[in-house]
Structure 1
Amino acid sequence: MRLAVLGAGAVGPGAAALAVSRGHRAALWSPRGGGTHGIGSSLAVQGVISGTARVDVAVDVARALAGADAVLVSVPPHALGPVLRRIVPMLAEGVPVLLAPSHSLAPLLLDRLLARAGRRAPIGALATPPVVAERLSGDELRILALPERVELASIPAAAAEPLARLCTDLFGMDFLPLGDALGTALAAHEPVLQAALALGNVTRIEAGEDWDQHGRMTPAICRLAERLDAERLALATAYGHAVPSLAAALHRRGGVPQGPLPVMARALAAARPTPGLRGLDVAQLAVSVTYGLALWLRLGAARGLPMPMTQAAVAVLEAMTGSSLSADDLLEGLDLQKLPALLRDGHAR
């Protein structure tokens, strides 16, 4: 298959290299162009997989999408809306689009844009990326880990199983179909962890210190994360979903034995460093707050479910950053009252 990968940070090239290692072809495009700078015709890959992965670097998105059998979009959430609007006129009818990871309810935004254009495509929403990777230089990449399993949902909901098989073919690991795309939004554990770490390390972040995320998961931070996670899990249950706990997600992603969070944190810190935030960059915190915690608050309010810890975390983080972190552009035009039908069938054509 030919996979068009849109986004050239670390995950996009990592996913491209993984697909190539499994016998597929990959085209790589960077929205701003900087991500593909230094890449000629191949990536030098080390880590969990190693070798040379041949990729086609596309100078424009139309060339990346031309002849693609599947499209993978991996860009930061603040760039996701603009990228989706840009590519809709160029997407071929019926070609699957995978959002890796899927932020907020972006699959419904893409489906609405396609409906306006009178076209259909199965949309896959991945709870987490298929690789954990880092860029070492222009054409050098390290694959740090491959998840054992990735949750996946789709618009329309009935496309989840064929999309899961497609993703397994492309990337190798198991993909677990979820009932609907809301499950993907609720399965993301990073907002819980990042919010707890930001609240407990704000002076360290503001001072621009070097610090390790897992090394700073003290018992107090872990207790806060568990309380936030309990509200996320309760919200998922209210919407009919059973999603992995924070501990289960860290076990899957980091490969350490599941147990008490402080014990897992020590094992993760010993396995590899994971740098924490440096500077109160609103854009970085918005990934966790705007497209995670604040979204969950909206969903909780729609079901009359109180989420006091989550609400307090959002309020305190907004106060500390001096910015509103609740404006989710990926919810544009979405009527939460129609959410069940939209998740099942997508928008009317």
Structure 2
Amino acid sequence: MRLAVLGAGAVGPGAAALAVSRGHEAALWSPRGGGTHGIGSSLTVQGALSGTARVDVAVDVARAIAGADAVLVCVPPHALGPVLRRITPMLAEGVPVLLAPSQSLAPLLLDRLLARQGRHVPIGALAAPPVVAERLAGDELRILALPERVEIAAVPAGAAPELAALCQSLFGMAFLPLSDALGAALAAHEPVLQAALVLGNVTRIEAGEDWDEHARLTPALCRLAERLDAERLDLARAHGHAVPSLTAALHRQSGVAEAPLPMMARALAEARHTPGLRGLDAAHLARSVTYGLALWLRLAAARGVPMPLTGAAVAVLEAMWGTGLSADDLLEGLDFSQLPKLLRDGHAR
């Protein structure tokens, strides 16, 4: 198969290399162009995957998508809306689009954009990316981990098993179908972990210090993360989803044995340095707050599910950053009163 990978930070090239290692072709495109700078016709890969992966670097997105059997979108959440609007007119009828990871309820935004044109495209919502990677240089990257399995949902919901099989063919690991895309939004564990880390290390962040996330995940912050996670799990259950706990998700993502969170944090810190945030840039919190915690609060309010600690975390973070962090552009035009139907069937054509 030919896979078009849109996004060239670390996950995009890593996913492209993984797909190529399994006998597929991959085209790579960067929204701003900088991500593909230094990549000629191949990537040099080390770590959990090693070797050379031939890729087709596309200078424009239309060339990347042309002739693709599947499109993988892996851009930061603040760039996801603009990228989806840009590519919608170029998507071929019936060719799957995979969001890796899916952010907020972005699958419904893409479906609404397609519905305006009367077209159907199965949309996959991955709860986590298929690789954990870091860029070492222009054409060099290290695959830090390959998750054991990844949850995937779809719009329309019934397409999830088919898209799970597609992703397993592309990337090799097991993909577990979820009943709807809300499950993918609630399965993400990063917002919980990042909120606890930021709340406990804000002075380091503000001072621009070099600090390691897992080394600073102290027992007190682990307790905070676990309390936040308990609210996420309660919300998921209220919406009919059984999603992995924080420790289970960390195990799947990193391969570190599941254990009490402080023990896992020590093991992760010993395995590699994971730089923490530097500077009070609101964009740094977008992934965890705007497209995570704030969305969960909206969903909780609709179902009457109490999330007091999550609400307090968002309020405190907004106070410290001195700005609002809840404006989710991926929810634009979404009718929450129709959410169950939209998750099941998508928008009317």
Assess same fold via TM > 0.5.
yes
Instruction: After superposition, give the CA deviation of every residue in 1:167-217 in whole Å (9 maximum; x if it has no partner).
Output: 000000000000000000000000000000000000011111111111111
How many angstroms apart in 2 are the aligned matches of 1:260 and 1:104?
28
The whole-number CA distance in structure 2 between the counterparts of 1:336 and 1:303 is: 11
Superposed CA deviations along residues 269-292 of structure 1, whole A, max 9, x for unmatched, are 111111111111210111100000
Superposition deviation, residue 91 in structure 1 = 0.3
1:168 matched to 2:168: yes
**3-state secondary structure, aligned to 1:235:** helix
Q: In structure 1, what is the equivalent of residue 227 of structure 2?
A: 227
Partner of 2:32: 32
> In the alignment, does 2:184 pair up with 1:184?
yes
Query: Secondary structure of 1:216's match?
Result: coil
**Which residue of structure 2 lines up, in the alignment, with residue 284 of structure 1?**
284
Whether 2:223 is the aligned partner of 1:241: answer no
Amino acid of the structure 2 residue aligned with 1:223: R
Verify: 1:144 aligned to 2:130, yes or no: no
TM-score w.r.t. length of structure 1 = 0.99
Structure 2 residue aligned with 1:206: 206
Distance 2:36 2:55 in 1: 11
Shift of 1:253: 1.1
Identity among equivalent positions (%) equals 84
Matching residue of 1:121: 121
* 1:153-174 superposed Cα distances (whole Å, 9 cap, x missing partner): 0000000000000000000000
Q: How does 1:37-186 map to 2 (within 5 A)?
A: 37-186=37-186
What is the distance in 2 between the residues matched to 1:122 and 1:151? Answer: 16
Between the aligned partners of 2:91 and 2:286, the Cα distance in structure 1 is 28
Matches of 2:63 and 2:168 in 1, distance apart?
25
- 1: CA distance, partners of 2:40 / 2:259: 44
Supply the distance in 2 between the matched residues of 1:73 and 1:163 (Cα, whole angstroms). Answer: 14
Using the alignment, how far apart are the partners of 2:14 and 2:22 within structure 1? Answer: 13
Partner of 2:319: 319
Show CA shifts across 1:96-152 (max 9, x none).
Answer: 000000000000000000000110000000000000000001101111100000000
- 1:197-238 CA-partner distances (Å, limit 9, x unpaired): 000000011111111111111010000001100000000000
Q: Distance in 1 between matches of 2:149 and 2:10?
A: 19
Show the counterpart of 1:13. 13
Determine the C-alpha separation between the residues in 1 that align with 2:45 and 2:16: 11
Alignment of 1:274-313 (within 5 A): 274-313=274-313
Displacement of 1:296 in angstroms is 0.2
* Alignment RMSD: 0.5
Match of 1:218 in 2: 218
Residue 344 of structure 1 corresponds to: 344
Could you tell me how far apart the structure 1 residues matched to 2:311 and 2:265 are? 25
Amino acid at match of 1:10: A
2:215 alignment partner, SS class: helix
| 5+ residue gaps, structure 1 | none
Q: Distance in 1 between matches of 2:147 and 2:245?
A: 15
Using the alignment, how far apart are the partners of 1:71 and 1:36 within structure 2? 17
Residue 161 of structure 1 aligns with an amino acid whose one-letter code is P
Separation (CA, whole Å) in 2 of partners of 1:259 and 1:45: 30
- 2: CA distance, partners of 1:260 / 1:44: 36
Deviations 1:75-97 (A, max 9, x none): 00100000000000000000000
CA distance in 2 between counterparts of 1:261 and 1:333 reads: 39
How many residue pairs end up in the alignment? 349
Query: What is the letter of the counterpart of residue 198 of structure 1?
Result: V
Give the Cα separation in 2 of the matches to 1:122 and 1:168: 16
- Alignment partners' CA distance in 1, 2:165 and 2:85: 27
What is the TM-score normalised by the length of structure 2? 0.99
Shift, 1:10, TM fit: 0.3
Following the alignment from structure 1 to structure 2, what is the Cα–Cα distance between the partners of residues 52 and 259?
A: 35
* Aligned partner letter, 1:106: A
Distance 1:72 1:286 in 2: 21
